[in-house]
Amino acid sequence: MVNIEPPTRLQGKYAAIVVCWLLGNGCLFSWSSMLTVEDFYGYLFPKYHPSRVLTLVYQPFAFGTLAILSYNEAKVNTRLRNLFGYTLFFISTLLVLILNSATSGKGGLGTFIGICAMSGCFGVADAHVQGGMVGDLSYMQPEFIQSFLAGLAASGALTSTLRLVTKAAFENSKDGLRKGAILFFAISTFFELLCVLLYAFVFPKIPIVKYYRSKAASEGSKTVSADLAAGGIQTILKQDEDYGKEQERKGNKQLLFENIDYLLDMFLIYVLTLSIFPGFLIEDTGAHKLGTWYALVLIAMYNVGDLIGRYIPLIELLKLESRKLTTVAILCRFLLVPAFYFTAKYGDQGWMIMLTSFLGLSNGYLTVCVMTSAPKGYKGPEQNALGNLLVLFLLGGIFAGVTLDWLWLIGKGW
Sorted by where each begins, the domain ranges of the chain are: 13-235+252-409
pLDDT band with cut points at 50, 70 and 90 for residue 94: very high
Q: How far is CA 362 from CA 223, 272, 307, 368, in A?
A: 33, 11, 10, 10
3-state helix, strand, coil in the chain (%, to 5): 80, 0, 20
Q: How far is CA 95 from CA 119, 121, 281, in A?
A: 11, 11, 28
Q: How far is CA 355 from CA 49, 99, 255, 264, 358, in A?
A: 24, 36, 35, 24, 5
Residue 128: other Cβ atoms inside 10 A: 25
CATH code for 13-235+252-409? 1.20.1250.20
pLDDT band with cut points at 50, 70 and 90 for residue 15: very high
pTM above 0.85, yes or no: yes
Rounded Cα–Cα distance for residues 191 and 321 (Å): 34
Residue 146 identity:
Q
Q: What is the pLDDT of residues 37-64, one digit of tens each?
A: 777 787 788 887 787 788 889 989 999 9
Has residue 305 got a pLDDT over 70?
Answer: yes
Rounded Cα–Cα distance for residues 333 and 363 (Å): 9
Range 314-331 average pLDDT: 95
Range 126-133 average pLDDT: 95
Mean predicted lDDT score pLDDT of the chain: 86
pLDDT of residue 173: 65
